[in-house]
Amino acid sequence: MNSPLITEEVALTEPKVLLEELIHLRSSVLTKSQKQLDKWKLDIGEDRNNFRYSAANLANYLALRQHDLRKLQVMLHFRGLSSLGRIEAQVLQNLDAVIMTLARLCGEDNEKYTSYISQQTMESLTQGQRLLEAETVLVFGKKPLNRRVRMMVTLGTETAQNPELVRQMVASGMNIARINCAHDTSKEWLQMITNVRRAEQKTGFQCKISMDLGGPKSRTGKIITPKDKLIKISDTILLTTAIPKPSKQYPFQIQCMLPEVIEQVHIGAQIWFDDGKIGAIVNECVSEGLVLLITQASDTGDKIKSDKGINFPDTKLNLDALTAKDIIDLDFIVKYADIINYSFVQTTKDIHLIQQEIEKRNPQRKIAMIAKIETAKAIEHLPSLIVAAASKHPFGVMIARGDLAVEIGFERMAEMQEEILWICEAAHTPVIWATQVLETLAKTGRPTRAEMTDAAMAERAECVMLNKGKYIIEAMRILDSVLVRMETHQSKKTAQLRALRSWL
């Protein structure tokens, strides 16, 4: 905060100054949040009345976080009061609770503080938490027996022909089965869904079906490289929209499967392949495509494979979030899936577009929707995306850390996933913690130490996503164990002081 009222010396000796500071802060929050709600009023309709409360709390939280509260937090902490560090789900009620306590500390019992005191009931103080839990059930299904956090698992092609594997996955704790429409066909998707439904009947456990729209994801197609040669720093590559043909001028060639992006990229722009494993800059624009200079690769060289992602973090791409294929796939998804995972959503225009498409297919069905946050633009518009979507559908957010890390920079990833968690909790919107969770374990059977810590941190989300792999059942077993253990120590941002046994 930038208020002249508070200095460390005064706050420690004069609780009334601190009280007035909090009242001033509350007033500022209400004024700013009302302006934000006015901007959102066209999206906040009558479809889901509970979300009106959540939208107001989100506006309050955004207004609160425009202030630097660090000095105020220290002063509150010194007096044994809440330092507002876990205020996300219930902003005004938490502010009021501190104001009420300070008023009594100051001996203030007059009518000036009656409104703050009268509002405090256990029901009002936990309403945000209850709304988040209710929305989580609507999106992801009922709470598992042994843990709060749900487990989403990607189904590989083999699950279409292996019902026993699917049964094992459901029995091992898969709460949501994820099908990626960028792979396979409707024939395989239907068989996967059939196997999940049969597994539900055999195990008695509920498992939702979640389907990813492919979106305008740029991927590698056909690739030409000199025989047995890996890509190294300072190599030159042609990124082309055509099918590559052998060339002395461009011995390395990569086909870009999203042709419209090539003409939007400028000289000097960064391009990354395969979730940031290989980096390049655009050296030249030629008739065949883009000539790239490799700037990032391992010392021994790397191999680029087909069907790997391509990211353009420096380029503001003008692309529709729904592709022609997505619109066709929606016919199947709206009929069979419980959840739509919306790839590369960036603005409220994208949300309105998919809502219209769902309405065309089944106006009575409020299918759950997940916005995959994977670009800087999506982060910028996150609060508006939540309001536009959650006002009409059960809604959640996926932190798609693979693309997002490349788009915003790896050094910002940890910070940004925290901020997304806070914003979503303020909106009572469940979050999926996704990409590379126990990835090494699922693929090789042996986890890394870092990914075990990452899996433990995922407890703060409402759902964790595992990708496919040969050892997926073992990865699920270990993730289940980690989540159950961590929930005895942590709930969202709140430490749980379970008795420690290790030193007794």
| pLDDT for the residue 2 | 52
pLDDT digits (tens, 9 = 90+) for 430-475: 999 999 999 999 999 999 999 999 999 999 999 999 999 999 999 9
Report the C-alpha gap between 278 and 309 in whole angstroms: 11
Return the structure tokens found at 405.
């890390």
At 14, is the secondary structure helix, strand, or coil?
A: coil
Provide the CATH topology of domain 131-216+320-495.
Answer: TIM Barrel (3.20.20)
Is the pLDDT confidence value at 337 over 90? yes
pLDDT digits (tens, 9 = 90+) for 356-383: 999 999 988 889 999 999 999 999 999 9
Q: In sequence order, which residues have a C-beta less than 8 Å from that of residue 41 and are 6 or more positions away?
A: none
431 and 66 in contact (C-beta within 8 Å)?
Answer: no
Residues in the chain: 504
pTM of the model: 0.91
88 and 422 in contact (C-beta within 8 Å)?
Answer: yes
pLDDT digits (tens, 9 = 90+) for 236-294: 999 999 999 988 899 999 999 999 999 999 999 999 999 899 999 999 999 999 999 99
Average pLDDT, integer, range 388-395: 94
Q: Which of the four pLDDT bands, split at 50, 70 and 90, describes residue 125?
A: confident
Q: In sequence order, which residues have a C-beta less than 8 Å from that of residue 393 and are 6 or more positions away?
A: 355, 366, 367, 368, 369
Q: Per-domain residue ranges for the chain?
A: 8-125, 131-216+320-495, 220-311
Is the pLDDT confidence value at 319 over 70? yes
Domain 220-311 top-level CATH class: mainly beta
Is the pLDDT confidence value at 161 over 70? yes
Report the C-alpha gap between 359 and 365 in whole angstroms: 8
Is the pLDDT confidence value at 180 over 70? yes
Is the pLDDT confidence value at 12 over 70? no
Return the structure tokens found at 259.
């042709």
User: For the CA atoms of 362, 367, 372, 373, what is the dihedral angle to 10 degrees?
Assistant: 100
411 and 439 in contact (C-beta within 8 Å)?
Answer: no
pLDDT digits (tens, 9 = 90+) for 298-317: 999 999 899 999 999 989 88
Q: What is the residue-averaged pLDDT of the chain?
A: 91
Q: Which of the four pLDDT bands, split at 50, 70 and 90, describes residue 181?
A: very high
Average pLDDT, integer, range 41-67: 90
At 249, is the secondary structure helix, strand, or coil?
A: coil
Report the C-alpha gap between 238 and 136 in whole angstroms: 46
Q: Which of the four pLDDT bands, split at 50, 70 and 90, describes residue 109?
A: low
Q: Please give the angle made by the CA atoms of 480, 486 and 487, to the nearest 5 degrees.
A: 90
Looking at residue 318, the DSSP 8-state letter turns out to be -
Average pLDDT, integer, range 65-92: 91
| pLDDT for the residue 112 | 65
Return the structure tokens found at 155.
């189904």
301 and 277 in contact (C-beta within 8 Å)?
Answer: no
Q: Is the dihedral of CA 380, 388, 333, 173 positive or negative?
A: positive
| pLDDT for the residue 419 | 97
Bridge-partner residues for 319, per DSSP? none
